Amino acid sequence: MKKTYEGSCHCGAVRFACDLDLEAGTTRCNCGFCAKARFWMAFAPIADFHLKQGAEALTDYQAAPPGRPAFLHFLFCRHCGFRPFTKGGALPQFGGEFYAVNVACLEGLTDEERGRIPVNFADGQHDQWDKTPAAHAHL
């Protein structure tokens, strides 16, 4: 069931709210970017995400797999360096544009609640997003 969560970067300059169903599962990916950043994400359609403050504090880094156009905007707070979310371009499997929200940046969850959130592992390293990588404990 969807619930509204508030979140922020570390310093609080960037604040957002989003409607998420964490019980439906979250994702950790082994692509070069997610694995290095240890990014733990929950997906929200663009209509379920609201930037409350800090648009001017965000800086955008774009990267793409070789031979493909960039469709992800890795957004960072220019003050504290945290990436509270990533904005994705229109992908059919997400119903259009989306946000990948950093679960670690959501407020109001206890450690016990975070520990019960289901996690799916994606093999982004091999562009097999629907498959679990053989090794994923490090993610």
Structural domains of the chain, with CATH: 3-124 (2.170.150.70)
Alpha helices of the chain — where are they, by DSSP H? 32-37, 111-115
Q: Please give the angle made by the CA atoms of 38, 139 and 133, to the nearest 5 degrees.
A: 130
pLDDT at residue number 59? 97
The amino acid at residue 21 is: D
pLDDT at residue number 53? 98
pLDDT at residue number 137? 77
pTM score, whole prediction? 0.89
Alpha-carbon distance 3 to 91, whole Å? Answer: 23
